Amino acid sequence: MKRLRGMDAMLLYLEAPNVATHTVKVGLLDVSRFHGELSFEVFRELLRRRLYLLDPLRYQLVNVPLRLHHPMWIENSEVDLDYHLRRVRVSSPGGRRELDQLTGDIAGKLLDRRRPLWEMYVVEGMADGSVPVILKIHHALADGVASGNLLARIMGFTATAAEEREPPPPDPVPSAAELLAAAGRDHLKAILRLPLLLGQTIWGTWRLRRAEKQREPHPELAGRFSPAHTFINHPLSAERRFASATFALADFKQTGKQLGITINDAVLATAAGALRELLLHYDGRADSPLIVSVPASLNITPGRIEGNEVGALNVSLPVQVDDVLERVRLTALGAAIAKEDFNLMGPRLISSWQEYMPPALMPIVFGWLATRKKQSKLQNLTISNVPGPRERGEVGGAMLREFYSVGPLLTGSALNITVWSYVDQLNFSVLTDDKTFGDAHEVTDALSHAFVEIRSAAGLSPTLTEVDTAMGAAQAIA
What is the pLDDT at residue 161? 57
Instruction: Report phi then psi at 83, rounded to 5.
Output: -90, -50
pLDDT in tens, 71-92: 999 999 999 999 999 999 999 9
The answer to whether residues 91 and 102 touch, using CB atoms and an 8 Å cutoff, is yes
Instruction: Please name the residue ranges forming H helices in 324-361.
Output: 324-345, 349-354
Task: Give strand ranges (E) for 189-336.
Answer: 241-248, 290-297, 310-317
> Which one is predicted more confidently, 174 or 169?
174
Helix axes 263-282, 249-259, angle to 10 degrees: 100
Name the residue type at position 100.
D
Which range has the top average pLDDT, 158-172, 281-295, 389-403?
A: 281-295
Q: Is the pLDDT of residue 168 over 80?
A: no
How far is the C-alpha of 336 from the C-alpha of 313, rounded, in Å? 10
Where is average pLDDT lowest: 20-24, 72-76, 146-150, 165-169? 165-169
Rounded CA-CA distance 60/211 in Å is 44
pLDDT band at residue 130 under the 50/70/90 scheme: very high
Q: What is the pLDDT of residue 45?
A: 86
What average pLDDT does range 297-320 have in this prediction? 89
Confidence band, pLDDT 50/70/90 cuts, at residue 12? very high
pLDDT of residue 398: 87
Mean pLDDT of 117-146: 94
Are 18 and 238 within 8 A, CB to CB?
Answer: yes
CA-based torsion, 457, 462, 467, 472: positive or negative: positive
Mean pLDDT (the chain, rounded)? 93
What whole-number percentage of the chain has pLDDT above 70?
A: 98
pLDDT digits (tens, 9 = 90+) for 390-439: 888 887 778 999 999 999 999 999 999 999 999 999 999 999 999 999 99
Q: Which 8-state DSSP code applies to residue 175?
A: P
Question: Which member of 70, 84, 139, 441 is catalytic?
Answer: 139
pLDDT > 90: what percent of the chain?
81
Specify whether 218 is catalytic: no
- The region of weakest confidence among 36-40, 300-304, 348-352 is 300-304
Q: Provide φ and ψ at 336, rounded to 5°.
A: -65, -40
Residue pLDDT, tens place only, 195-252? 999 999 999 999 999 999 999 989 999 988 889 999 999 999 999 999 999 999 999 9
CATH of region 220-388+411-457, choose from 3.50.50.60, 3.40.50.300, 3.30.559.30, 3.40.50.720: 3.30.559.30
pLDDT tier for residue 160 given thresholds of 50, 70 and 90? low
Predicted confidence at residue 380, as pLDDT, reads: 96
DSSP code of 468? T
- Check whether 10 has a pLDDT greater than 70: yes
Query: Is the per-residue pLDDT at 165 higher than 90?
Result: no
**Which pLDDT score, from 0 to 100, does residue 111 have?**
97
Going by pLDDT thresholds of 50, 70 and 90, the confidence category of residue 157 is low
pLDDT, average across residues 28-52: 87
**In the prediction, which pLDDT does 159 show?**
52
Residues 6+ apart with CB under 8 A from 260: none
Separation CA 228–CA 232 (nearest Å): 10
CA 441/CA 419 separation, integer angstroms:
15
- pLDDT grade, residue 163 (50/70/90)? low
Query: Do the beta carbons of residue 339 and residue 322 sit within 8 Å?
Result: no
The SS3 of residue 358 is coil
Model pLDDT, residue 375 = 84
How far CA 76 is from CA of 148, 198, 329, 457, in Å, comes to 21, 36, 49, 54
* Distance, CA of 389 to CA of 384 (rounded, Å): 16
Q: What is the pLDDT of residues 333-372, one digit of tens each?
A: 999 999 999 999 999 999 999 999 999 999 999 999 999 8
Q: Report how far apart, in Å, the C-alpha atoms of 249 and of each of 199, 387, 417, 422 are.
A: 43, 11, 17, 8
- Compute the distance between CA of residue 452 and CA of residue 251 in angstroms, rounded to an integer: 10
**Band (164; pLDDT cuts 50, 70, 90):** low
118: closest CA among 98, 147, 155, 144?
147
